[in-house]
Amino acid sequence: MSLKEIEQILARQLAEYMAIPVFIVDQSGDMLFFNDSAGIILGRQYRDIDSMSASEWTTVFEPKDQEGRPLKPEELPLMIAMTQQHPEQKRLRIRGLDKVLREIDVITVPIIAHEQRYLGAAAVFWEVPK
């Protein structure tokens, strides 16, 4: 098992213990994991999804800005954290896999390990009360 794999396992384990929703992607943007709290907002639990590529998760939730305009994948906070390797924050709307439209606040960070090794990015998010 490589050091990178161990660090990704540790990031996943941390997310599993957090009550706030967390979504983690690898360095290519493919979904590594999301916790049960995230599953409530995303409309499906992680255990019910085989995998999700960056091109899939950036579109399947139909992300929109606060005015209802569709967001391009490169405008999403998690993609910005992944591609530009800096934190990003945004309020947006998504449609969960349960077809429920939700407004969420998202804060993302790149996951950078020792010696500046880039491993992916993580998003913490929550539903905005109506």
Q: Look at residue 127 and tell me whether its pLDDT is greater than 60.
A: yes
Tens digits of residue pLDDT in 91-119 = 999 999 999 999 999 999 999 888 888 89
Among 104, 56, 48, 95, CA closest to 79: 56
Q: Look at residue 32 and tell me whether its pLDDT is greater than 80.
A: yes
Tens digits of residue pLDDT in 45-94 = 999 998 899 999 999 999 999 999 999 999 999 999 999 999 999 999 99
Q: Provide CB contacts within 8 A for 125, sequence distance 6+.
A: 20, 21, 23, 38, 41, 104, 105, 106, 107
**pLDDT tier, 4 (very low <50, low <70, confident <90, very high otherwise):** low
Q: Any idea what DSSP says for residue 38?
A: H
Rounded CA separation 64/94 (Å): 6
Q: Tokens standing for 107?
A: 């804060």
Q: Provide CB contacts within 8 A for 119, sequence distance 6+.
A: 4, 7, 8, 11, 26, 27, 111, 112, 113
For each of the domains in the chain, give its residue range(s) and CATH number, in order of start.
3-127 (3.30.450.20)
